[in-house]
Amino acid sequence: MSRIGKKPVSVPDGVTASLVGQTVSAKGPKGELDFTVNDQVLVKLEDNVVTVEPKNNTKDARSFWGMSRTMIENIFVGVKDGFTKNLEINGVGYRAAMQGSNVQLSLGFSHEVVYTPPQGVTITCPKPTEIVITGHDKQVVGQTAAEIRAYRPPEPYKGKGVKYADEVIFRKEGKKK
């Protein structure tokens, strides 16, 4: 039994939810999102509470059960509050600056890297070494953060590069004579 899948998802205040077939839609102050649930899972919307159950006891149905419940909860949280990812830049001369809605990154290359965010994602740079990514779709926010981090991932010897704010980089000891 899925411990996550058994929990019902309540629709938060300020969010309207609808269920059409296998598609759960949510509309809130941050935007509108929908998620189509797999056919092996039953979804019910009653009294502003969404419940998810597997149709049968197969391994696939049980696998989709918890994932579907989590995805439905994420669209409710996204349209109400949104999601945020924080990145930190470490290294001498490494910095980020806003250029309109784009981010200009100086990461030790011979050229500047200009990143254009996808639609629905807002990027801000409160400091030259911080990047804040916000949006209502959790997957798109995480993908944007991963793409920016991929330009210069943190290295273990000096810790230089772009890392998540809550990421811990295990440092290695250098060569010895």
Q: Are residues 55 and 104 in the same domain?
A: no
Q: Are residues 38 and 61 in the same domain?
A: yes
Instruction: Domain count for the chain, please give it.
Output: 2
Mean pLDDT by 10 residues, the chain (177 residues): 83 90 91 91 90 89 90 93 94 92 93 94 94 94 95 93 93 86
Cα distance from N-terminal residue to C-terminal residue, the chain = 57
Q: Which of 32, 60, 80 is the last residue of a domain?
A: 80
Q: Are residues 15 and 75 in the same domain?
A: yes
The CATH number given to whatever domain includes residue 66 is: 3.90.930.12
